[in-house]
Amino acid sequence: MASSPFFFLLLLVVAVASLLCPPAAAAPEEHLVTGLPGFHGANFPSKHYAGYVTVDEASERSLFYYLALSERDPAADPVVLWLNGGPGCSSFDGFVYGNGPFNFEPGTKPGGLPKLRLNPYSWSKVSNIMYLDSPAGVGMSYSLNKSDYTTGDLKTAADAHKFLLKWFELYPEFQSNPFYISGESYAGVYIPTITDEVVKGIQKGVKPRINFKGYLIGNPGTDVDYDFNSFVPFAHGMGLISNDMYEDVKATCHGTFWGNVDSKCQEKIDSVHWELKDLNKYNILEPCYHRPDIQEVEFANSSLPLSFRRLGETDRPLPVRKRMAGRSWPLRLALKDGHVPMWPGLGGRSLPCTNDEIATTWLDDEGVRAAIHAKSPNWIMGTVYRKNRLHSRYWNNGALSQEIHSLGISRSNLQVQSQLIQSFGNVKYE
């Protein structure tokens, strides 16, 4: 056949071209999550991925992520990065208690694994939602160099930007999708600083180009003086404390309700917090959901009006939306060095609205860690502590007895010392 040499040459050219221009990589199959302990449904409604992205090879500083693809149209729907605040809170707080793909229900036995049900309000319904543990040392993220655990906002932002660039290289199919950064609490600092890094990278032509469209911040911490000084006036404005109490604390504190106040002022501020000890301060119209026996004990000596204590109760024969087991973190004034004297719930009980038992039980389970491709606590602790005798502490929402999700292990830190260098600059978490 006269045309045979031509076809042979054409095939040769195609073969060489395929070697020179290999097809773009796709989602790494080794990061695919095929099932989760506690979930007994047939299949996830979309594909899930989880794993590590190394942002510094020398120290093996690696950030952990969990991605739930959109249940609607992953190819067109936006990619949304979710960050919890603290600083020092794992973004699995949002995954378990917030906008994640599952509702977590208590196990049948105390301390048993929770049951996972599909969450009809998950952000994965309309977006490719990704939860990132940041900075290194928070949640599942880690480093083998102890100096990485003394960090700040600018380093955290730079590492997050490196993570995003490498992540989009791992998932090139999402490079053209709209990209948003979202979060809560101290993410009010994380998000603008990360956004600054992303935008500067775009302006410099850094590849891959991130199709950044905007950000979403809920209940953000933005300015320390403004945020923490507003609690008492807000409580009064919402009718949560009486005019007499407000005028008393205002006169004693001269309008300054946090920071280096004198003992008389601090006593008045503590009395406000004691008055509101049973209130869900993240949403004053929602109750704190505990087991009924705990709820009764919590409210036995409550000073809240009956209408607040009965939030969520109804005698109406109407369907009431099923609530996730979980928490809402109360906003406490910023910690000063030393002991914080006034917290209800001491003596073995959890702080109001801050029960981490479900998340802790689930995330510390070896089967869960294996399913999401996370390093085990023993591996991280053994490697890091053996080399560096690492000890890290995080300022975490100002609670006296609090859950610190550092190195993937839940620990109680009773004497937290925070050093806030700047409210929007370089914060040293130690």
Residues 282, 148 within the same domain:
no
Q: Are 217 and 307 in the same domain?
A: no
Residue 407 scores a pLDDT above 50:
no
Amino acid 364: pLDDT: 86
Is residue 219 situated within a structural domain? yes
Q: How confident is the model at residue 411, as a pLDDT?
A: 31
Q: What is the mean pLDDT of residues 276-302?
A: 59
Residues 235 and 183 in one domain: no
The string of pLDDT tens digits covering residues 240-273 is 999 999 999 999 999 999 889 999 999 999 999 8
Tell whether 269 and 215 lie within a shared domain. Answer: no
Q: Which two tokens stand for residue 347?
A: 């003596």
Q: Are residues 88 and 216 in the same domain?
A: yes
- B/e letters for 282-318, b = 16+ CB within 10 Å, e = fewer, are bebeebbbbeeeebeebbeebebeeebbeeeeeeeee
221: which residues sit within 8 A by CB, 6+ positions away?
85, 185, 186, 187, 188, 189, 227
Q: What is the pLDDT of residue 306?
A: 52
pLDDT of residue 132: 98
Residue 222 pLDDT level (bands cut at 50, 70, 90): confident
Check: CB of residue 49 under 8 Å from CB of residue 33.
yes
Report, as an integer, the average pLDDT of 413-424: 28
**Is the same domain home to 209 and 260?**
no
Q: Please choose, from the candidates 340, 220, 358, the residue with its C-alpha nearest in 3D space to the C-alpha of residue 289.
A: 358
**Predicted confidence band of residue 367 (pLDDT cuts 50, 70, 90):** very high
pLDDT attached to residue 4: 57
- 42-51, 121-130, 278-287: the lowest-pLDDT one: 278-287
**In the chain, what percentage of residues exceed pLDDT 70?**
65
My answer on whether 129 and 164 are in the same domain is yes
**How many domains, in total, are found in the chain?**
2
> Do 303 and 160 fall into the same domain?
no
Same domain, 175 and 302: no
Distance, CA of 5 to CA of 14 (rounded, Å): 14
Instruction: Please tell me whether residues 63 and 174 are part of one structural domain.
Output: yes
d(C-alpha 351, C-alpha 31), whole Å: 36
Distance CA(52)–CA(154), nearest Å, equals 21
341 found inside a domain? yes
Q: Is residue 395's pLDDT more than 50?
A: no
Distance, in Å, from the CA atom of 345 to the CA atom of 342, rounded to the nearest integer, reads: 10
Query: pTM for this one?
Result: 0.73
Final residue before a domain boundary, out of 161, 190, 223: 223
What confidence score (pLDDT) does residue 378 get? 61
* Claim to verify: residue 312 and residue 246 sit in the same structural domain: yes
| pLDDT computed for residue 125 by the predictor | 98
Residue 288: predicted pLDDT: 61
Residues in a beta bridge with 80: 129, 180
Mean pLDDT, rounded, of the chain: 75
Kindly report the CATH number assigned to the domain that includes residue 167: 3.40.50.1820
Domain limits for position 169: 29-223
- Do 188 and 288 sit in the same domain of this protein? no
Span of 25-29, 230-234, 266-270 with lowest mean pLDDT: 25-29
Please determine, for residue 16, whether its predicted confidence score (pLDDT) is greater than 80.
no
Q: Given a cut of 80, is residue 66 above it in pLDDT?
A: yes
Q: Which range among 25-39, 104-118, 191-205 shows the weakest confidence by mean pLDDT?
A: 104-118
Confidence of residue 278 (pLDDT cuts 50, 70, 90): confident
* 62 vs 381, residue with greater confidence: 62
CB atoms inside a 10 Å sphere around CB 157: 22
Residue 34 C-beta-side C-alpha neighbours within 13 Å? 3
pLDDT digits (tens, 9 = 90+) for 124-175: 999 999 999 999 999 899 999 988 988 889 999 999 999 999 999 999 999 9
Last residue of a domain, one of 324, 343, 374: 374
Predicted local distance difference test score (pLDDT) of residue 303: 54
pLDDT the model gives residue 150 = 84
Q: Look at 314 and 154; give whichever has higher pLDDT.
A: 154
pLDDT value for 359: 81
Lowest pLDDT segment from 9-23, 207-221, 392-406: 392-406
Average pLDDT score over residue span 177-193: 95
